[in-house]
Structure 1
Amino acid sequence: MDARIEILTEKKLIGKHITMSFVENKTFQLWSSFMPERKEIKNSIDSNLYSLEVFPIGYFDHFDAKKTFEKWAAMEVSDYNEIPADMETLIIPGGLYAVFVHKGPATEGDKTYRFIYTEWLPASEFKVDDRPHFAVMSENYQRDNPNSEEIWIPIKNKV
């Protein structure tokens, strides 16, 4: 699996979040709450959906699947002039990202992430940066479509 390296410009998002861990995965609960209300976001740039993880600083220094982080379901917006009730804002700072296309059903996403963190990153000239990690699901996203999800991992040089 190859990565492409991208320089991301800052993105403004509106959505919902929940605190969870990898052991206590609440992703389904979060998306079940967000999806019926996403049409309330009036200033979205497109129909792409963002699934984000905001990890505490140093989260990956000593990985523990029980440690908590913020999981977001969101859409990119042009501005924060209108924020629907029960939703919040999040800015993804610009910076360097490694981008992967997940191949296979969503239920096998852990294999892609395992490859990224245990094989690709250690062999690369990069390490994880302390910015949001996210997946972009386009309007053509289908849960089991093998090419409909891009995974963006924030990186910086190991130096």
Structure 2
Amino acid sequence: MFLRIEETKPKKLIGYSTTTSIAEDKTIMVWKKLMPRLKEIHNAVSADLFSLQIYDFKSLEKFTPLTKFQKYALVEVKDFDSIPEGFEKFELEPGKYAVFLHKGTTQDFMQTTQFIFGEWLPKSEFKLDDRPHFELLGDKYKGHENPESEEEVWIPVK
């Protein structure tokens, strides 16, 4: 499940966001907004998609299904010079990430996060950093309901 530690470079991303929680998951809303408009993005770096979360770092210790966070559906672009109307800009700052492989459905994702935060992180030399978390949905991502789907889970560490 653990793949590697990676230092990211700054990334320019565009897409949509919403405030949500695990209990009232609005993730599908941002993806339904982004996916039909992908063809309008002419300066994408790749076909990879970013599912990104920003948590209130202080609330992570007491995280519950009702804890609110910001959820983004994004595409990396070369620059912000030609952004289609209505898209939000997001700049991902450089930093160190622990990268994990999640294989399976969205329902299986809880097992992956339990491994990361319950086993791997406490036993590692790293601490959670106060930066965005994201999943990279590349060419092996087959949709959130497909048990053969694969995505990389990027957790900010220091």
Instruction: Calculate the TM-score normalised by the size of structure 2.
Output: 0.91
What's the CA shift string for 1:44-90, capped at 9, x where partnerless?
Answer: 11110110001123231322331211100010011000121221111
Which shows bigger deviation, 125-134 or 53-62? 53-62
Equivalent residue, structure 1, for 2:99: 99
**Whole-angstrom distance in 2 between the partners of 1:151 and 1:2:** 9
Q: Which residue type is aligned with residue 126 of structure 2?
A: F
Which blocks of at least 5 consecutive residues in structure 2 are unaligned? none
- 1:60 aligns to 2:45 (yes or no): no
Q: How does 1:13-28 map to 2 (within 5 A)?
A: 13-28=13-28
Q: Between the two proteins, what is the percent identity of the paired residues?
A: 42
Taking only aligned residues, the RMSD between alpha carbons, in angstroms, comes to 1.5
C-alpha separation between the residues in 1 aligned to 2:106 and 2:22? 16
Within-5 A mapping of 1:1-159: 1-143=1-143, 144=146, 146=148, 148-156=150-158
Q: Which amino acid aligns with 2:112?
A: T
CA contact (8 A) 1:52 1:132 kept: yes
The alpha-carbon deviation at position 145 of structure 1 amounts to: 5.2
User: Aligned AA for 2:97?
Assistant: Y
State how many pairs are aligned: 156
User: For residues 88 and 149 of structure 2, what CA distance do their matches in structure 1 show?
Assistant: 29
Residues 88-139 of structure 1 deviation map (CA, whole Å, 9 limit, x = unaligned):
1111111110000112233311110121111111111112111110011113
Unpaired runs of 5+ residues, structure 1, are none
SS in structure 2 of the partner of residue 118 of structure 1: helix
